[in-house]
Structure 1
């Protein structure tokens, strides 16, 4: 900020050096002043006074040198100011003088600004004709240039669609060269924005014709997506159908996979089914599921397919799941097909929000049995291996946990007193017997909750079968 203020004061001092100098005394020196930083500022200040005498003096000495001044680091600013304040006759002379070198001017870092100002202020058919004729043979070269592409975009902004037809013709004839270029892809999108209905159809037809090439390009894929984003089926549907027969190939590529996803999302139902059916019929479906790009296409297909098609897709994928379940992509596919594991919640690597296996279980009824039995069933479903937890599940002595790990009913009737608080467990599914011995004081045992030192909230949680918020294991 300090430097900016200092520069501003210096500029004011430089201009003030000319303040007491009459412009009339600078006749025949105005051209050289235009190329001087301080002299150029002085002349701009004189033009802002809107004095016709000063305007004519500056114009008469500068218009023969307009090409040189438009590309000069300082002179281009005077040219911009002159174009802004000149009358139509003077402006026409400036355009006519610069016309033979407009392409050279457009490609220059200083000239591009002056030429954009010229295009912004043209007002007569003659001025427009001169500019169009000067630029129309080099449209593609200008579009692909860092400076020149801004001149073409200014033409799109300021000229009528009829006057800018030369741009639409050149872009249509060179769709791939323009669409796959860093600057060209942006200009092509601006062309679509400013086009009339006929011109838009002209551009979209060419994009559709070359869609397979464009969609695989780092820049061209944005052009195809731009057409899809028009949200008009008469433009998007023919474009999407161009990918038929190559859906799997395009799904496995970095740039085109994004486009295929968008196609599945916005396509008409009949067209969407064509795309998904092609994925279904692929002999490389497992490869698609493992691919770092194609797996996202499969996920999108699962999200947007109609119920019948989705079920077919699920049936085809399900046998492949065991082989890909441990991959990041496989886990995402699995979650879309069968959902998270029973009792799982977000928040930990295994899907559980807490390390406690009881968290999130439903509350029981007043006698506590329903909630406890639900706890048993849920824990059996989780196939919990920890012996302490299994002891809590399979314990006895009046506990509501009355089922064994094999799913069999306990031989002891509710309320029946047992001789030993730790009876031998029923035979497990693997045919082995396990004698689980554990202290009553261990937190995993049901009688733990009847101890005097256990607080009442924990006792209530045990009674209701709701251990949400408790991580006591």
Structure 2
């Protein structure tokens, strides 16, 4: 059974060689057979369990200065308003058995007590519990159901054996005080806190903010907490928003990771919507820029990029336009990227738009034959930008028959027939007619649609030439299921 003491924390399941000499059990002091931290006086020595059972179970007592211990507790059990807020940590063991759980820190004792069990009885049983039973009984922090804080003095000693659970309903913020971080991760508790944002005062918002600010990154990616964070971003002041933003961008790549998360992406989108100052915008742009390619190709992350396009200025979005042009082929041939690339073209202006369109057009032949890239090429054609259209046509000419016979590029050829000028359209149809095996186009599962479109858009002598070519192969093509679609067209009339 691991031992806890003021200024120290017990760990189990860790090999001795993972800890430095300053963290070895031999560095601990003894007083009358009990253990104490180097910073404890004689009266503070813990005598709940002696050292030998702890060492015999292969568990280590880790000690350090009061400040590192506080940091250790903050990582495992974040503190707010003097109350513990549990977080799971697979390597942390503390004074624990099937009846209770005790963690002692710098000036505070935190006691976990299972519902309906007597604390003192649990302490007496602790000595008899074997190593296997200890592991079985160790409570996981995420499953704590009862929690009671108590200071390590006689005045509050009675609180050590007081068990209680969080009420299923909260009628006021006062009842939730100290547990807001936990409540925010509960479905009903999250809704309760959101109502306070609508119906409460600025003081209520401030209280909630203070209790969750250290955990905003976790809450952003929580199935319920993300809704609270979205609501908070709507009602918080600029100083609070800046604090949230600083927490979300504290570590390199952290905002990108949040954006890629199913729940986190919603919060980041809301954050972008509510940005007000140049400093806030600069922080977001700097945090997202390194992960642009991952974002634009991700199911969740691409929506963050689109929100930037919608809410930020063209100049603020230049990092998107520059990167989109640089990686246009990689993006255009991706399921999600191809959609966002079209949004990039729509929202870009000036030189950013010109560069983006030019890069895409120069790769037109490759993209036209891709499952996703063909949509981007069609989008460029619909814009009817003379320079871009000319670049595309120069690549397509001489390849129309081949492109018409492919599943994806056949859509591009149809788009060309619909949007090109009369001269370019005429060249395209003549190229189809001049092939030595025109009948193959009539019987092809993809090219037959190109021929149908050509019939609809052609006029005059060109249309008549097309009808004659189809009629001349009528006998051969009659039995083909694809040719029947063409032969049934009323447009075959001259």
TM-score, scaled to structure 2: 0.61
Q: How many residues matched?
A: 326
TM alignment of 1:350-389, pairs within 5 A? none
Change (3 A) 1:244 1:52: same
Shift of 1:84: 0.9
Name which of 430, 438, 460 aligns with 1:307.
460
Secondary structure (helix, strand or coil) at the match of 1:163 reads coil
TM alignment of 1:220-369, pairs within 5 A? 220-314=373-467, 316-334=469-487, 339=492
Residue in structure 2 matched with residue 214 of structure 1 by the alignment: 367
Residue in structure 1 matched with residue 311 of structure 2 by the alignment: 158
Name which of 205, 208, 214 aligns with 1:64.
214
Rounded to whole Å, the distance in 2 between the matches of 1:338 and 1:325 is: 17
Rounded to whole Å, the distance in 2 between the matches of 1:307 and 1:290 is: 25
Residue in structure 2 matched with residue 405 of structure 1 by the alignment: none
Rounded to whole Å, the distance in 1 between the matches of 2:333 and 2:391 is: 20
Name which of 122, 141, 161 aligns with 2:275.
122
Rounded to whole Å, the distance in 1 between the matches of 2:447 and 2:222 is: 52
CA deviation string 1:179-217 (max 9, x = no partner): 121111111122222222433322221221121122112
Contact 1:161 1:196 in 2 (8 A): yes
Gaps of 5+ in 2: 1-165
Name which of 174, 192, 208 aligns with 2:345.
192
Rounded to whole Å, the distance in 1 between the matches of 2:176 and 2:488 is: 81
Residue in structure 2 matched with residue 18 of structure 1 by the alignment: 170
Shift of 1:134: 0.6
Contact 1:30 1:61 in 2 (8 A): yes
Change (3 A) 1:338 1:195: closer
Name which of 18, 32, 35 aligns with 2:182.
32
Q: Which has the higher strand share?
A: 2
Shift of 1:316: 4.7
Residue in structure 1 matched with residue 297 of structure 2 by the alignment: 144
Residue in structure 2 matched with residue 88 of structure 1 by the alignment: 238
Residue in structure 2 matched with residue 181 of structure 1 by the alignment: 334
Change (3 A) 1:290 1:93: same
Rounded to whole Å, the distance in 1 between the matches of 2:218 and 2:488 is: 67
Rounded to whole Å, the distance in 1 between the matches of 2:427 and 2:240 is: 62
Rounded to whole Å, the distance in 1 between the matches of 2:228 and 2:168 is: 18
Residue in structure 1 matched with residue 322 of structure 2 by the alignment: 169
Change (3 A) 1:308 1:87: same
Rounded to whole Å, the distance in 2 between the matches of 1:72 and 1:123 is: 25
Moved more, 172-181 or 272-281: 272-281
Rounded to whole Å, the distance in 2 between the matches of 1:65 and 1:337 is: 68
Rounded to whole Å, the distance in 1 between the matches of 2:277 and 2:491 is: 68
Rounded to whole Å, the distance in 1 between the matches of 2:308 and 2:211 is: 29
Rounded to whole Å, the distance in 2 between the matches of 1:86 and 1:204 is: 40
Secondary structure (helix, strand or coil) at the match of 2:356 reads helix
CA deviation string 1:46-90 (max 9, x = no partner): 222352222222222221211111111222122111111111111
Gaps of 5+ in 1: 1-13, 342-473
Contact 1:237 1:268 in 2 (8 A): no
Secondary structure (helix, strand or coil) at the match of 1:222 reads helix
Moved more, 92-101 or 284-293: 284-293
Shift of 1:103: 0.9
Shift of 1:141: 0.8
Residue in structure 1 matched with residue 107 of structure 2 by the alignment: none
Contact 2:185 2:225 in 1 (8 A): yes
Rounded to whole Å, the distance in 2 between the matches of 1:219 and 1:312 is: 34
Shift of 1:120: 1.0
* 1:201 is aligned to 2:344: no
CA deviation string 1:88-137 (max 9, x = no partner): 11111111110131111111111111111111111111111111111111
